[in-house]
């Protein structure tokens, strides 16, 4: 009697996952490559309760002042994703100054993609680029210190530039462009005496 040879089970995300969640040296839990992840691979969608900024503020206004930890992802001017409610492992991806992932927003959905090949056992991370304003309390901003340990660590999860400084630059650039379109130079800034 002949027996059929065993066939391998088809590979699925569950039987051969891209990542695992475990304790992180950076902060709390982290997400690690379970196998090699090629550059350009869409790893996971950041999911959770889809809420307004007002709802996000009300949910987190009762948090302790020294707790800068939330699972909120700002999608646009109207929408936040709160992965603390209905979230998945994407919420455990830590900030890294030497990022190996980036976030992609498509159709108001957020995806995490590899920006370089990631080796098994390597922690996934992207630059959070948390927004801030130059008038924010420095003690509050200190809560967002980075502990990624990268050689090029900028020591903060905050964006390199404040929102108000960026808006000023954009306004100046728009004025220059408008003036160039009209064929003249923009007015120079006056120096204070």
Q: How many CB atoms lie within 10 A of CB 93?
A: 26
Q: Which residue has the higher pLDDT, 101 or 66?
A: 101
* Residue-range domain boundaries for the chain: 19-182
- The per-residue pLDDT for 190 is 52
pLDDT tens track for 155-167 = 988 888 888 888 8
**Percentage, residues of the chain above pLDDT 70:** 83
pLDDT tens track for 118-170 = 999 999 999 998 888 888 888 888 888 898 989 989 998 888 888 888 888 88
Q: How confident is the model at residue 66 (pLDDT cuts 50, 70, 90)?
A: low
CATH architecture designation of domain 19-182: Beta Complex (2.170)
């Amino acid at each position: 009697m002949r027996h059929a040879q065993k066939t391998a089970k088809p590979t699925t995300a569950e039987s051969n996952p891209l990542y695992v969640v475990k304790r992180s040296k950076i902060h709390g839990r982290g997400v690690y490559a379970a196998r090699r992840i090629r550059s350009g691979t869409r790893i996971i969608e950041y999911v959770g309760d889809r809420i307004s900024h007002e709802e996000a503020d009300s949910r987190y206004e009762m948090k302790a002042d020294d707790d800068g930890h939330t699972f909120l992802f700002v999608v646009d001017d109207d929408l936040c994703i709160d992965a603390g409610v209905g979230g998945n492992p994407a919420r455990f991806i830590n900030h890294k100054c030497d990022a190996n992932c980036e976030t992609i927003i498509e159709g108001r959905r957020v995806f995490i993609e590899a920006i370089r090949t990631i080796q098994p056992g390597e922690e996934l991370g992207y630059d959070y680029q948390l927004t801030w304003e130059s008038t924010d309390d420095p003690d509050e901003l200190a809560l967002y210190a980075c502990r990624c340990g990268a050689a090029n660590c900028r020591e903060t999860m905050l964006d390199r530039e404040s929102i108000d400084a960026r808006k000023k630059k954009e306004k100046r650039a728009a004025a220059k462009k408008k003036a160039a379109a009209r064929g003249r130079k923009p007015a120079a800034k006056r120096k204070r005496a």
